[in-house]
Amino acid sequence: MQLDLAGRKTLIAGGSRGIGRAIALAYARAGADVSICARGETALRATEAELQQQGHRVHAMACDLGNAEAVTAYVAAAAKALGGIDVLVNNASGFGSSDDEDGWAASIQVDLLSTVRASRAALPYLEKSRGNIINISSTAALKPSPRNPPYGAIKAALVQYTLSQAAQHAAKHIRVNCIAPGSIEFPGGSWERRKTTDPKLYNTVLGRCRFGRLGTPDEVANVALFLASSAASWVTGQTIAVDGAQSLFG
């Protein structure tokens, strides 16, 4: 099945590393124009250079997605650079894990409110293009999360918000879906670090992955590519777990 995004104008909020980077590259390989933002300048520019090798229009902008004005400014700049918006991917995470004010604030401001704010800012463009929104949650949203309560709770809020968005915008022909990745390993990511800093936890999680490994960003990006394409034209309001059966075993 060919998943063609030729000429599509796509934004990935949180697109410089890991899952966001993989989605951005998958979209570019499928023919899309791509805008990415992230807070870290070094990784942002490295991914921008990779995207430029695909030969399509590329926009990259440093942005603190926990800041309301910065989110709005990024979406406006991306829409101007690309000439509109067809697809918005809300991928940013503050990784709030500590059950205290800082942990909750990080998850609320970045995971939840950046999604709300970016979606709101992109809506006028998506109405014109009859585009779609993809929110990145986590399988932590689908089960108890005693190790990091803020992360699990706010990722669960994204699942519910996806349902509300899909219902709100269906009459405008805007599709809204959600992806819930399981444990994803990539260079510089949290699970690669935990392999050495917390091997007991890493091996416990690995033991729940009956495929014998953790997931890869590309495996999440493949689902994001499908959801952004016309092949998913009748899919909205859904959350798709991408975890290799991990959540079936604890």
Is the overall model pTM greater than 0.85, yes or no? yes
Which residue, 215, 241, 154, is CA-closest to 19? Answer: 215
Cα–Cα distance for residue pair 122/114, rounded to 1 Å: 12
Q: What is the pLDDT of residues 171-214, one digit of tens each?
A: 999 999 999 999 999 988 888 888 889 899 899 888 888 899 99
Q: What percentage of residues in the chain have a pLDDT greater than 90?
A: 84
Q: What is the pLDDT of residues 27-50, one digit of tens each?
A: 999 999 999 999 999 999 999 999
pLDDT band at 150 (very low <50, low <70, confident <90, very high): very high
Q: What is the pLDDT of residues 57-78, one digit of tens each?
A: 999 999 999 999 999 999 999 9
Question: What pLDDT is attached to residue 1?
Answer: 63
The count of other CB atoms within 10 Å of the CB of residue 216 is 16
Provide φ and ψ at 35, rounded to 5°: -120, 135
Instruction: Identify the residue whose tokens are 């929104």.
Output: 133
Angle at 160 between CA 181 and CA 231, to 5 degrees: 60
Domains of the chain listed by start with CATH number:
9-186+216-244 (3.40.50.720)
Question: What pLDDT is attached to residue 55?
Answer: 83
Cα–Cα distance for residue pair 27/21, rounded to 1 Å: 10
41-52 and 18-29 helices, crossing angle to 10°: 20
Using CA of residue 65, residue 66, residue 68, residue 69, what is the dihedral sign? negative
Catalytic residues: 151
Range in 16-25, 115-124, 184-193 with the lowest mean pLDDT: 184-193
> CA 158 from chain center: how many Å?
11
